[in-house]
Chain A
Amino acid sequence: MRKTVVLALAAAFATAAIAGDKKGGSKHPAGYAWEENFENAKTRAAAEGKIIFIDFYSDG
């Protein structure tokens, strides 16, 4: 019974993580609408008269 609960929880956690990745931006800090595509960012910024902020980072 305990094993089943642990497996179910692990499966739920993995599903949530995959769903988060599919949404995009989940690997980045929460609370921001991180734009994934530079062309889209440029179009949005131009249309809305906004600044583009880019954080070039390295995970290496």
Chain B
Amino acid sequence: MDAESYPLDDVKKFLEPMVVMKINPNGGKENKKLAEQFEVNSYPRLIMLKPNGEQLHVVKGGLKGKDQFIGGWTTHFWNAYVGASNAKPQDGKVAAQNLFPLVTWFAHSPMGAQAKDAVKQMEGNPDFKTEWEALTKKNEFDTLVAKAPALMKLGKKDDAKAAYKALATDYPDTKEGKDAAAMCKKLGVKLDAPPPVEKK
């Protein structure tokens, strides 16, 4: 892949919005530990992780050329969407689950663009709409939970405060929201008072 894929502009563009790593498991203890953690037992092994560290997709073997490289990450979700749509055209929930990663993480790829069009066509399906909203909310929550401490670690205190405040305000009933509220107190961030309950 070093010769056939990485030098290509389309591959560079595809990986541009990502944090990229090349790891040789024989290159030290830490690398070996990571390979074990991700259960790597053959090479190349390509892995994508969401910002919260959750595994998004794994590709076993090399991806050569731009179509194979980009398709290696997106075809899996697209084919699952098409297969499920053919089997159960009205199953909006499964359609949402397969289109969501394409639109969220691979919008800058050709299949991401196709997925956006498919989403427009599915919008009238109530199951699709409900699942899409649930996936969006979960993704926003997961991203925020990972973001706040990471910003703190990087010394971006003001941004971290804003992230903790958003977490505490938007998800007050979750453990993470309560922890964020405690963090806000520690950092001197004033939380907005909840809206008053209307008297009937």
> What residues make up the interface of A, taking CB atoms closer than 8 Å to B?
28-36, 38, 41-60
Contact = CB atoms under 8 A, between A and B. Distances in A.
Nearest to A55: B22
B7 interface: yes
Contact of B19 (A44, A55, A60): A44
Contact of B12 (A31, A43, A45): A31
Contacts of A33: 20
Interface of B: 1-2, 6-7, 12, 15, 17-26, 30, 34-35, 38, 40, 43-53, 56, 105, 143, 146-147, 149-151, 153-154, 156, 159
B21 A58 contact: no
Contacts of B19: 35, 41, 44-45, 48, 50-53
Contact of A52 (B18, B45, B156): B18
Nearest to A25: B22
9 closest Cβ pairs, A-B complex: A46-B150, A29-B6, A46-B146, A47-B150, A58-B43, A56-B45, A52-B49, A45-B19, A51-B18
A36 B25 CA distance: 13
